[in-house]
């Protein structure tokens, strides 16, 4: 909260916003606040709220006057009367609580109070106790604030509490999960001295006894939550304000500087460069807004007093942004004057190098370095418009000032998220615009901003064990040193949200040790967090804007009044973490053990723009060089030592001179010959994967060339190659961890202690629609792939500029993919159509030291998809998968992500068992240990023998059932050879769109194309006569037979619908179809009928028991082959000893399936010669119930579990109860048959009397 609004009120870490407190300070606005009525304050009838506030204010003033006059005991003379004015009574004076003993409880027992009595200073004078100073309370070292915080955290029945020293009164909230203090503070002494009735009004209305009673149902808790919601609206408004501010600034600069506009028009200065310069100015403004409003600009001494005197500070206020914001709020600004902007540039110069006459410190840092905008003209109107856009927000139609004192990393992160959606455009006028387009940076980077609640949840399992390991079993000093030596990184850090959360959490533990208390003071936490940021925090991002914003966020978190901004360039690096190498990747060894650099042959795989024959020749040449390394080109082993970078990290940065010395030393190390040579070699190795491979391009960078250049990169014989390497390194932003963070990748450290993040979720491939969305939206909108291709080709032919950009973008994408696929850096995840989240997860794992932990947020495919199976097996087999929390986004945890999306929080680290919590909707669900299950390597291998995917259930009972089934039957892929049981798909409509015709245009030679939605369980959707199959599309017979040669030999096929969902009525839909060609929405089984009986397979797949197990494996919308292949399907061998089973199943499947003549071939294959069966719903119901009952018995399911399983099909139940008067008929029918079959036993199935009415099953036919 800014000091100019409610000087004697401060809020830290609570949801209570400045706007809400200002509403309480105003009589008219208070009337609009929910819950602020006389009755809710327990006032007597006819007593108005204003009357009660004024009476309490009068009582407080009188008590204060008496106390000041007579110097009575602070508790009885002042604090108790004040609390009485707030309607509290605190009887007794004994300590309450265990370890954290507070002074008193209210007479109703629901509000704890801790009173810190005055302390006597060296001169013998009584002084108010420092609420944040750690002292001894019995055997406990804690500050008065810490005592109350510890008490609240330890007592579930108390949510809010009060702590006071007579001069300051704080209200604290239970805050066990959050690393930042959460309280509101009232400077009651100054409030009374200054006669600040407005602040007292807020105090009375907010802390009256009626506000705190009721715990989670209290009015204060409700207000705090509601104000937090308002804060979300304010954050959204601020995001829009940043966009408008940039537009005002850029437009003003273009209009006021013709030369600048000409540079943009000529292409010398791109719209993106101007955008980033204006964004940097916004960063500068926001940083100074926060620093001023938090009162962190002017230096203070050890006692907390200002170093500059009051006169100097008052003089400085005329030059600060607070004065600029005030003017902007009052004045529109003259478009012909530029003095306001001149004042801004003057302030920048002052804070960059310091200005003692105004008491302004030297902040230094690149944030305040001159850029392209320095010295340019900007009119007052544009400047003030930008200031208003940043300093005022609109919430529910009302303009309000932004609470920059309370700005958190979450606000900065949401700003970053919004910036990624924007693409700069310069319109006539000139007018600068930021447009939201589909092909923007956010889409192409797949970035999604992560809520704080999820980050804290991830840190519980990924960072807390690292912190505990660092301190356990160590002395205090050793534990402090160990904490400061921790290394934490987010390799795709964005705005630094994860880094700040990690710094805070480590900082809390560090503060506890330094103050020797379990509840360190807020000031101690701030100091400790600054130290953690200086020693422990690392980050990287491909986006320079993100890295700069992350620096701003870390600076704001660690800013110490009067001190320069810490040097962070050595810890936060711009680059693509995926595209970098390591010595292990680059080196091979001769038979004599000498190392040399090797470029993999697959580096020369052709990408967009390459010539295939040329690339093939280069690959052959490289293969020969790999096998015969030249003795003259063996690598020099003089790796850059880490000691220099460790020393760099330990250099102080308390003064501007020290920061500049640190920066100078960093530049010396980075630009030294030794590092530059190593950097060039690493860049060259990576560049080989994206090297242009066609005649006329620079000579290819093969193994011999790489080794030769590693000795002398500047050799004139290789000048063209050297230039190309440098160009490609800039384009792809290669980042090599061992060179960027050499202090981390040492023999002793061995990598990071913790790697955290929420990396992009998108697929690693070039998306044409996304590219053209920002070029030609009409082309991008064409749904048909072939039609869109034709339109794209025409557009490219007609516009050389777009064609060039298209080819460059596509080449860049394919180049990155070639590196990821063929470099060997990702041996467990770089397969087929992989996603970024899988690749990043392996990257995170590879950056850890042997004891490290990694926490990642990604799509649920990380745990449930086949593409990650090799990586999952590696983790589980090596006891490295610790925790999996699976979420559905139904509650909009990620607002910009589809509500049906599922995602996981996965923790990698040493653990014998995987702890799993599935189907969480909220963070509270994830924290509920009652929903947690644990699986070992053996468990997972049994349930998913091929892919090691984790079952999607939070129910121990479901796991027990699955374990019983798999132990009894096993996955089909483990019992049958691939050639005896496989699954095909035939016509991908998008691939054959030109060959597909509609029914109206089909020729006699065309075949109807059967689709997944045309089948049901045991049936095909037919015409009204229930005979013919009506298909929408047709394809030529020649294509059909080429795709499925079995059309000539087989009269029927067993198929399953591909598109599915675990939440559908039924998830596995199987049927037997006549000889027809099928599209990709049907999966067709290719069987050895001696080992897999088609009749039994169809019945098995349609059974409730198999559907139940399949639903525990389906993570998306496809019944993929890998899911089916790991289902416990019964084979002919499994049933060989049960002669009566096939005789029971086959007639029922025949009657259910054979309802039209086109399946006569199927009937004949069974030995049935008569015509099709008449469709009868009642008969079909009982036929299926009998099949399901039998399969439950065959799978060894107990009766209670049958009932339980049937209750997991809610849509089936709902339909039954609606149609049968509230009776779940399907369940009841299956259980009744189950009981009879159980009583008979499988050996006496032939004695079972079917419940089917109207004739024998299948007319009495038996196989």
Q: pLDDT digit string (tens) for 674-711?
A: 889 999 999 999 999 999 999 999 999 999 999 988 87
Residue 441's pLDDT is: 47
Residue 634's pLDDT is: 47
3-state secondary structure of 160: strand
Residue 1211's pLDDT is: 97
Paired residues of 573 in beta bridges: 540
**Dist. CA 160–CA 144, nearest whole Å:** 15
**Dist. CA 259–CA 857, nearest whole Å:** 47
Burial 4-28 (b: 16+ CB within 10 A, else e): ebbbbbbbbbbbbbbbbbbbbbeee
**Dist. CA 429–CA 182, nearest whole Å:** 49
Q: How confident is the model at residue 186 (pLDDT cuts 50, 70, 90)?
A: very high
Residue keyed to tokens 């009838």: 45
What phi, psi does 596 have (nearest 5°)?
A: -150, 155
Q: In the predicted model, is pLDDT for residue 637 greater than 70?
A: no
Residue 399's pLDDT is: 77
Which range has the top average pLDDT, 435-449, 487-501, 519-533?
487-501
Alpha-carbon separation of residue 289 from 259, 295, 391, 419, 512 (angstroms) = 31, 10, 8, 20, 31
Mean pLDDT of 583-611: 91
Element (H, E) at 615: helix 612-627
Largest Cα span, the chain: 114
What phi, psi does 487 have (nearest 5°)?
A: -125, 115
Angle made by CA atoms 424, 579, 732, in degrees to the nearest 5: 40
**Domain 972-1258 CATH assignment equals 3.90.220.10:** yes
Residue 1's pLDDT is: 38
Closest CA to 118 of 90, 63, 78: 78
Q: In the predicted model, is pLDDT for residue 755 greater than 60?
A: yes
Both structure tokens of 768: 């044409």
Alpha-carbon separation of residue 29 from 25, 33, 232, 400, 978 (angstroms) = 8, 7, 21, 14, 74
DSSP-assigned letter for residue 849: E
Q: In the predicted model, is pLDDT for residue 1032 greater than 90?
A: no
**pLDDT digit string, tens, across residues 374-389:** 889 999 999 999 999 9
Both structure tokens of 954: 């939070």
Q: Give the architecture-level CATH label for domain 447-579+735-762+835-860.
A: 3-Layer(aba) Sandwich (3.40)
Residue 234's pLDDT is: 62
- pTM (predicted TM-score): 0.85
Closest CA to 758 of 513, 461, 446: 446
**Dist. CA 705–CA 699, nearest whole Å:** 9
Residue 979's pLDDT is: 78
Q: How confident is the model at residue 1198 (pLDDT cuts 50, 70, 90)?
A: very high
Residue 1220's pLDDT is: 96
Q: In sequence order, which residues have a C-beta less than 8 Å from that of residue 1105 and are 6 or more positions away? A: 965, 1188, 1191, 1192, 1195, 1197, 1205
Mean pLDDT of 921-937: 86
Residue 4's pLDDT is: 42
Residue 178's pLDDT is: 52
Residue 444's pLDDT is: 44
Residue 54's pLDDT is: 95
820: left (phi over 0), alpha (psi -120 to 50) or beta: alpha
Q: How confident is the model at residue 73 (pLDDT cuts 50, 70, 90)?
A: confident
Q: How confident is the model at residue 197 (pLDDT cuts 50, 70, 90)?
A: very high
DSSP-assigned letter for residue 129: P
Q: In the predicted model, is pLDDT for residue 633 greater than 80?
A: no
Q: In sequence order, which residues have a C-beta less than 8 Å from that of residue 119 and are 6 or more positions away? A: 126, 127, 128, 129
**Dist. CA 730–CA 575, nearest whole Å:** 9
Percentage with pLDDT > 90 across the chain: 55
Alpha-carbon separation of residue 1008 from 141, 273, 1159 (angstroms) = 81, 56, 16
Residue 417's pLDDT is: 66
Residue 442's pLDDT is: 44
**Dist. CA 949–CA 458, nearest whole Å:** 21
Residue 635's pLDDT is: 53
Residue 766's pLDDT is: 78
Higher pLDDT, 497 or 1004: 497
Among 445-449, 919-923, 1258-1262, the minimum mean pLDDT is found in: 445-449
Residue 1074's pLDDT is: 94
Residue 640's pLDDT is: 53
Q: In the predicted model, is pLDDT for residue 961 greater than 50?
A: yes
What phi, psi does 19 have (nearest 5°)?
A: -60, -40
Say if strands 104-105 and 9-12 run parallel, antiparallel, or are unpaired. unpaired
User: Where do you find CATH 3.90.220.10 in the chain?
Assistant: 972-1258
**pLDDT digit string, tens, across residues 1069-1124:** 999 999 999 999 999 999 988 889 999 999 999 999 999 999 999 988 899 999 99
**pLDDT digit string, tens, across residues 229-271:** 665 666 667 778 899 999 999 999 999 999 999 999 888 889 9
Among 134-148, 183-197, 515-529, the minimum mean pLDDT is found in: 134-148
Angle made by CA atoms 25, 28, 34, in degrees to the nearest 5: 80
CB 134 within 8 A of CB 140: no
Q: In the predicted model, is pLDDT for residue 501 greater than 70?
A: yes
Q: In the predicted model, is pLDDT for residue 639 greater than 50?
A: no
**pLDDT digit string, tens, across residues 756-767:** 999 988 777 777
Q: How confident is the model at residue 179 (pLDDT cuts 50, 70, 90)?
A: low
**Burial of 691 from C-beta contacts in 10 A (0-12 / 13-18 / 19+):** buried
**pLDDT digit string, tens, across residues 963-992:** 999 999 999 988 888 778 999 999 888 778
**DSSP codes joined into one string, 1197-1246:** --HHHHHHHHTT-HHHHHHHHHHTTT--HHHHHHHHHHHHHHHH-GGGGG
User: Where do you find CATH 3.40.50 in the chain?
Assistant: 447-579+735-762+835-860
Among 105-114, 712-721, 905-914, 1216-1225, the minimum mean pLDDT is found in: 712-721
Alpha-carbon separation of residue 240 from 267, 477, 584, 642, 979 (angstroms) = 28, 48, 47, 44, 60
Closest CA to 823 of 745, 734, 762, 756: 734
Mean pLDDT of 557-566: 87
Residue 568's pLDDT is: 94
Mean pLDDT of 269-284: 91
**Dist. CA 603–CA 958, nearest whole Å:** 47
Mean pLDDT of 757-781: 79
Q: In the predicted model, is pLDDT for residue 445 greater than 90?
A: no
Alpha-carbon 493 to chain mean position: 11
Closest CA to 1242 of 1105, 1103, 1137: 1137
Residue keyed to tokens 């777009």: 802
**Burial of 196 from C-beta contacts in 10 A (0-12 / 13-18 / 19+):** buried
Q: Outline where 928-975 has alpha helix (H).
A: 937-943, 956-968
What phi, psi does 907 have (nearest 5°)?
A: -115, 125
Q: In the predicted model, is pLDDT for residue 1018 greater than 90?
A: yes
Q: Outline where 823-977 has alpha helix (H).
A: 836-846, 861-864, 869-877, 923-927, 937-943, 956-968
Closest CA to 365 of 379, 348, 340, 384: 348
Mean pLDDT of 778-803: 82
**Burial of 380 from C-beta contacts in 10 A (0-12 / 13-18 / 19+):** buried
Residue 547's pLDDT is: 92
pLDDT, averaged across the chain: 88
Q: In the predicted model, is pLDDT for residue 2 greater than 50?
A: no
């Amino acid at each position: 909260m800014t000091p100019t609004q409610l000087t004697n009120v401060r809020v830290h870490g609570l949801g209570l916003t400045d706007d809400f407190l200002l509403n309480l300070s105003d009589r008219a606005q208070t009337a609009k606040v929910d819950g602020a009525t006389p009755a809710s304050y327990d006032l007597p009838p006819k007593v108005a709220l204003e009357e009660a506030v004024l009476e309490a204010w009068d009582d407080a003033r009188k008590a204060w006057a008496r106390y000041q006059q007579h110097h009575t005991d602070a508790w009885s003379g002042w604090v108790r009367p004040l609390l009485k004015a707030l309607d509290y009574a605190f009887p007794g004076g004994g300590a309450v609580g265990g370890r954290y003993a507070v002074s008193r409880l209210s007479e109703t027992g629901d509000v704890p109070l801790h009173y810190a009595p005055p302390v006597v200073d060296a001169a013998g004078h009584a002084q108010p106790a420092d609420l944040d100073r750690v002292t001894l309370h019995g055997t406990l070292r804690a500050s008065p604030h810490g005592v109350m915080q510890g008490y609240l955290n330890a007592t579930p029945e108390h949510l809010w509490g009060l702590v006071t020293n007579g001069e300051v009164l704080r209200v604290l909230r239970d805050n066990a999960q959050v690393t930042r203090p959460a309280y509101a503070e009232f400077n009651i002494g100054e409030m009374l001295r200054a006669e600040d009735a407005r602040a007292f009004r807020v105090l009375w209305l907010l802390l009256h006894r009626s506000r705190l009673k009721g715990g989670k149902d209290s009015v204060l808790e409700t207000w705090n939550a509601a104000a937090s919601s308002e804060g979300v609206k304010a954050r959204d408004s601020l995001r829009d304000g940043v966009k408008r501010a940039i537009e005002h600034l850029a437009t003003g600069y273009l209009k006021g500087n013709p030369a600048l506009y000409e540079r943009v028009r000529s292409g010398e200065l791109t719209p993106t460069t101007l955008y980033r310069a204006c964004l940097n100015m916004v960063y500068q403004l926001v940083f100074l807004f926060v620093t001023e409003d938090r009162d962190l600009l002017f230096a203070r001494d050890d006692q907390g007093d200002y170093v500059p005197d009051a006169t100097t500070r008052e003089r400085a206020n005329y030059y600060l942004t607070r004065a600029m914001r005030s003017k902007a709020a009052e004045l529109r600004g003259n478009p012909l004057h530029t003095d306001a902007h001149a004042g801004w540039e003057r302030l920048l110069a002052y804070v960059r190098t310091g200005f003692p006459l105004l008491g302004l410190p030297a902040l230094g840092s690149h944030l305040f370095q001159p850029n392209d905008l320095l010295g340019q003209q900007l009119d007052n109107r544009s400047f003030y418009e930008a200031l208003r856009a940043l300093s005022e927000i609109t919430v529910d139609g009302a303009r309000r000032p932004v609470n920059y004192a309370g700005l958190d990393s979450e606000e900065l992160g949401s700003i970053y998220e919004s910036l990624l959606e924007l693409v700069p455009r310069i319109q006539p006028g000139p007018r600068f615009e930021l447009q939201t387009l589909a092909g923007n940076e956010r889409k192409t980077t797949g970035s999604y901003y992560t809520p704080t609640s999820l980050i804290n949840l991830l840190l519980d399992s990924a960072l807390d064990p690292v912190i505990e390991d660092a301190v356990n079993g160590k002395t205090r000093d050793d534990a402090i040193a160990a904490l400061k030596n921790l290394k934490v990184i987010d390799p795709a850090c964005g705005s630094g949200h994860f880094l700040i959360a990690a710094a805070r959490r480590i900082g809390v533990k560090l503060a506890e040790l330094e103050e020797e208390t379990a509840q360190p003071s807020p000031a101690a936490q701030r100091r400790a967090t600054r130290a953690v940021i200086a020693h422990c925090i690392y980050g990287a991002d491909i986006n320079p804007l993100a890295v700069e914003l992350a620096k701003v966020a870390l600076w704001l978190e660690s800013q110490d009044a009067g001190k320069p901004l810490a040097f962070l360039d050595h810890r936060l690096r711009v680059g693509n973490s995926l595209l970098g190498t390591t010595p292990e990747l680059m080196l091979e060894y001769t038979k004599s053990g000498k190392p040399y650099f090797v470029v993999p042959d697959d580096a020369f795989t052709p990408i967009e723009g390459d010539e295939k024959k040329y690339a093939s020749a280069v690959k052959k040449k490289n293969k020969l060089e790999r096998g015969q390394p030249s003795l003259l080109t063996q690598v020099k082993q003089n790796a850059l030592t880490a000691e220099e970078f460790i020393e760099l990290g330990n250099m102080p940065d308390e003064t501007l001179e020290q920061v500049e010395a640190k920066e100078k030393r960093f530049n010396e190390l980075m630009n030294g010959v030794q590092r530059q040579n190593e950097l060039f070699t690493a860049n060259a190795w990576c560049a080989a994967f994206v090297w242009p491979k066609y005649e006329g391009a620079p000579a290819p960078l093969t193994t011999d060339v790489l080794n030769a250049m590693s000795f002398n990169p500047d050799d004139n014989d290789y000048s063209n190659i050297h230039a190309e390497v440098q160009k490609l390194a800039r384009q792809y932003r290669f980042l090599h961890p061992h060179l960027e963070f050499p202090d981390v990748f040492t023999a002793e450290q061995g990598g990071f202690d913790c790697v955290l993040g929420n990396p992009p979720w998108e697929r690693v491939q070039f998306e044409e629609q996304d590219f053209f969305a920002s070029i030609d939206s009409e082309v991008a909108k064409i749904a048909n792939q072939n039609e869109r291709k034709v339109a794209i080709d025409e557009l490219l032919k007609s516009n050389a500029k777009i064609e060039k950009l298209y080819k460059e973008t596509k080449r860049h994408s394919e180049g990155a993919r070639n590196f990821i696929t063929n470099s060997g850096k990702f041996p467990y995840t770089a397969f087929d159509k992989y996603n970024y989240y899988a690749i990043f997860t392996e990257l995170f794992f590879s950056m850890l030291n042997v004891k490290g932990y990694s926490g990642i947020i990604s799509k649920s495919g990380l745990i449930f998809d086949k593409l990650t199976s090799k990586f999952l097996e590696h983790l589980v087999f090596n006891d490295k998968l610790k925790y999996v929390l699976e979420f559905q986004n139904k509650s909009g945890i990620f607002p910009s992500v589809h509500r049906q999306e599922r995602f996981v929080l996965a923790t990698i680290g040493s653990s014998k068992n995987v702890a799993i919590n599935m189907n969480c909707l909220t963070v509270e669900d994830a924290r509920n240990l009652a929903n947690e299950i644990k699986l070992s390597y053996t468990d997972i291998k049994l349930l998913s023998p091929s892919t090691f995917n984790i079952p999607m259930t939070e129910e121990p009972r479901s796991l027990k059932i699955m374990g019983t089934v798999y132990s009894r039957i096993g996955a089909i892929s483990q019992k049958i050879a691939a050639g005896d049981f496989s699954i095909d798909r035939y016509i991908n409509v998008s691939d054959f769109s030109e060959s597909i015709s509609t029914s109206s245009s089909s020729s006699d030679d065309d075949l109807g194309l059967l689709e997944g939605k045309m089948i049901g369980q045991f049936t095909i959707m037919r015409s009204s006569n229930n005979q013919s199959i009506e298909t929408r599309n047709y394809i030529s017979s020649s294509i059909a037979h080429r795709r499925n040669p079995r059309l000539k030999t087989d009269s029927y096929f067993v198929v399953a619908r591909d598109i599915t969902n675990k939440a559908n009525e039924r998830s596995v839909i199987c049927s037997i179809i006549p000889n027809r060609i099928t599209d990709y929405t049907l999966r067709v089984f290719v069987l050895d009928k001696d080992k897999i009986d088609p009749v039994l397979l169809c019945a098995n797949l349609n059974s409730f028991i198999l559907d139940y197990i399949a639903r525990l494996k389906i993570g998306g919308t496809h019944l993929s082959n890998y899911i089916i292949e790991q289902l416990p399907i019964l084979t002919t061998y499994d049933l060989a000893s049960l002669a009566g089973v096939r005789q029971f199943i086959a007639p029922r499947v025949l009657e259910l399936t054979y309802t039209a003549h086109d399946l006569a071939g199927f009937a004949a294959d069974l030995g049935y010669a008569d015509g099709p069966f008449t469709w009868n719903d009642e008969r079909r119901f009982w036929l299926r119930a009998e099949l399901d009952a039998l399969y439950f018995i065959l799978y060894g399911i107990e009766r209670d579990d049958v009932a339980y399983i049937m209750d997991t099909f809610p849509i089936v139940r709902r339909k039954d109860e609606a149609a049968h008067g509230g009776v779940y008929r399907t369940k009841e029918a299956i259980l009744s048959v189950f009981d009879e079959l159980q009583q008979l036993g499988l050996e006496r199935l032939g004695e079972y009397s079917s419940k089917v009415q109207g004739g024998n099953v299948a007319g009495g036919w038996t196989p």
